[in-house]
Amino acid sequence: MKERLISLAWAAPWMLFMGFPLASALESTDATQRAGIIGLCALLAVTNSVTWLTNPPPARNSFTRPFILSHAALAAATVIYLVYAASIGLPFAFMMVSYLLVAWVFQAPSRFLIAGVVPIAAIAGVSAYAQGESMRMIWYLALLGGFVGFARWSMERSARERLRRQDAIQRAKAAERARLSTDLHDILGHSLTGIAMVSELSGRLLDTGRAEEAREQIRAITAQSNEALADIRRIVAATRALSPIEELDEARSLLEVARIDADITNEGEPASGPRSAAAAHVIREGVTNALLHARPSRVRIRMSPTGVVVSNDGYSASYAASTAGSGSGLVGLSELVGDEGSLAWGASGNTWTISLTFPAAPLNEESPFPDALNQRKE
């Protein structure tokens, strides 16, 4: 609800344009014209408000039913107003196209922006030409279009930066887990080696009848074991493994923020341990790549006990190249999966997919992206 109220606040400033026709209506001596102008202004105000309420920014990457219906209603109200204004000679009628233009620029999917702006400008041009106001219309639409276009670009840049920061935080957490895991390995290696050596020494002391010295060494073993156990508990507490279920929830939240449709299917969680952690990392990497290196309208995630598949429909080789990073994410993911399963990724048309299959599932299934070079680790 809060999101929709904020969206409605975006629509409020543009209501000021109603001042021109309403002022003309109040000055008119024709009651019929006055009622017509006020009624059409009210219709524009209502349809514009509904459009913003049903399509809060930021814009989605695909058309939705509410978007289509609300924009169709706003376009119809705009055309009716322009026709009526032209019939009674109401000046500056073309300015009422502002509502349709602003709503489209802020709410339409990026790849359809120009395709929608052209007919809107044509509608305004016909209205302005009919009333001899072509030059005013050109300057007005140029300034308005430039302003709202810059605002849309700024919003999208802020959204991308927010997603990049979230990704950086996630990667930092993953790096910290890896570091702590290394510490755990080092502590165990050092402690167990020391315990083994002291235990061997204690046995030799007992064999030679030096019981008191052997007891001293055994006490040292106990102290070293307790110290190692405390270190292990501390590290394990700080390195709780990723959960696939939590990653699915996180993916759903991130995609909602990015206004991307999420198609998530959970058919069961992989076995706990390395497989569960690997599946969680694949989900995270797949969603991160979709957000940072593609322009998808939908991201699909399917998880089952035999693996996980993440795909998006916004792959473009040129865009992926322009946003490419070091590529360490997928390489590191391959190392993490290791021998637990078969990891593959690649593109087929505009669909990019990453999949992880565990040995329990057939490994000779047909690849979901035959047109691309797949990298596998089996």
Per-residue pLDDT tens over the stretch 98-113? 888 888 888 888 788 8
Confidence of residue 356 (pLDDT cuts 50, 70, 90): very high
| pLDDT at residue 90 is higher than 80 | yes
pLDDT at 367: 43
In the DSSP assignment, the letter for residue 28 is -
What is the band of 233 on the pLDDT scale with cuts at 50, 70, 90? Answer: low
Residue range 296-311: average pLDDT? Answer: 93
* Res 47: pLDDT: 92
Q: What is the average per-residue pLDDT within 135-145? A: 83
Q: How confident is the model at residue 210 (pLDDT cuts 50, 70, 90)?
A: confident
Given a cut of 80, whether residue 369 has pLDDT beyond it is no
pLDDT of residue 52: 86
Q: What confidence category does residue 176 fall into, taking pLDDT thresholds of 50, 70 and 90? A: low
What's the DSSP call for residue 372?
A: S
Model pTM above 0.85: no
Mean pLDDT of all residues in 161-171: 70
Alpha helices in the chain (DSSP H): 2-11, 19-27, 31-54, 65-88, 98-107, 113-130, 134-207, 211-238, 244-257, 274-293, 317-322, 328-337
Phi, psi angles (nearest 5°) of residue 64: -115, 165
CA pseudo-torsion sign 65, 71, 76, 77: positive
**Contact, 93 vs 125, CB < 8 A?**
no
Judge: domain 241-357, CATH 2.60.60.20: no
Average per-residue pLDDT in the chain? 80
Class of residue 245 by CB neighbours under 10 A (exposed 0-12, middle 13-18, buried 19+): middle
Residue 300, pLDDT > 90, answer yes
Task: List CB contacts of 105: < 8 A, sequence separation 6 or more.
Answer: 113, 117, 145, 148, 149, 152
Predicted local confidence at residue 40, as pLDDT: 92
Percent of the chain with pLDDT over 90: 16
* Amino acid at residue number 305: P
Higher pLDDT, 226 or 356: 356
